Amino acid sequence: MVKPLINGFKKFRNNYFDKERKFFNRLTKRGQKPKIMVISCSDSRVDPAILFNTRAGELFVVRNVANLVPPYEPDDGYHGVSAAIEFAVRDLKVKDIVILGHAFCGGIEALCNACKNEIEGIQESNENKKEFINSWISISKKAILDLDLNDWHGPTQHLAEKASIRNSLNNLMSFPWISKLVSNNNLMLHGWWFDMENASLWSINQKNNEFERLIPK
């Protein structure tokens, strides 16, 4: 099953690495200096490097189920996403953080389902109960409870995806060193949503907190 990856790596060596030796040498010797962090979904259809046509070293990426940012909780927990954010902001000193959500997100679907079941008092069977996903996606629970989750497929699901991006932006601001940098204009936060059906990119307008289409204009 992994054969395509081996072949893909051969192509990377021949078509990319060999032609850009100087570039890779520089990256190796000088280390990485990405200016942008992207927090995106683990979804196989939403690869930031492909979507934004970037080169190695350009993006510092953390991917997780439903592109969520947890709130600031400096305790002894295993905070993988917060650790990546800390490294990007405090060590690499990125200038922008993009939260990249997307249409038809399975993680947000699971969240909509879980909230709907909870509202209707439906208990999940032990057999179906997820050990980690439910607590992870509950990060965005409060952001979607105002939506009519009766029939969440279609437009409501997209509203939930967007509400969750806003929630993650708020959570980013709960990190004290992030809010300080943002207030000093040394760090910019962006909420983007990828409409994979139409290959369009939407962005939150910070003036009214609404999503506006960025590409195509």
Query: According to CB under 5 A, which residues from 88 to 127 bind Zn ion?
Result: 105, 107
Please say which residue, 105 or 189, places its beta carbon nearer to Zn ion: 105
Is 138 in contact with 111 (CB distance < 8 Å)? Answer: yes
The stretch among 35-43, 47-55, 88-96, 133-141 that binds Zn ion (CB under 5 A) is 35-43
The stretch among 17-25, 41-49, 110-118, 169-177 that binds Zn ion (CB under 5 A) is 41-49
Please say which residue, 171 or 187, places its beta carbon nearer to Zn ion: 171
Q: How far is the CB of 42 from Zn ion (least distance, A)?
A: 7
Is 41 in contact with 107 (CB distance < 8 Å)? Answer: yes
Q: How far is the CB of 43 from Zn ion (least distance, A)?
A: 4
Please say which residue, 111 or 204, places its beta carbon nearer to Zn ion: 111
Among 34, 43, 89, 140, binds Zn ion (CB under 5 A): 43
- Decide the pairing of beta strands 200-205 and 188-195: antiparallel
Query: According to CB under 5 A, which residues from 122 to 181 bind Zn ion?
Result: none
Whole-angstrom distance, CA of residue 80 vs CA of residue 36: 18
Range list of H helices, 18-152: 21-30, 48-51, 80-86, 106-119, 133-137, 141-144
The stretch among 40-48, 143-151, 172-180, 189-197 that binds Zn ion (CB under 5 A) is 40-48
Q: How far is the CB of 75 from Zn ion (least distance, A)?
A: 27
Q: How far is the CB of 7 from Zn ion (least distance, A)?
A: 27
**Number of CB atoms found within 10 A of residue 105's CB:** 27
Tokens matching residue 195: 């409409």
State how far the alpha carbon of 38 is from the alpha carbons of 1, 128, 154, 196, in Å.
29, 32, 26, 17
| 73 Cβ contact partners less than 8 Å away, ≥ 6 residues apart | 79, 82
Q: How far is the CB of 152 from Zn ion (least distance, A)?
A: 15
Q: How far is the CB of 105 from Zn ion (least distance, A)?
A: 3
Nearest CA among 139, 140, 142, 149 for reference residue 112: 149
Applying CB under 5 A, does 41 fall inside the site for Zn ion?
A: yes
Q: Which residues bind Zn ion (CB under 5 A)?
A: 41, 43, 105, 107
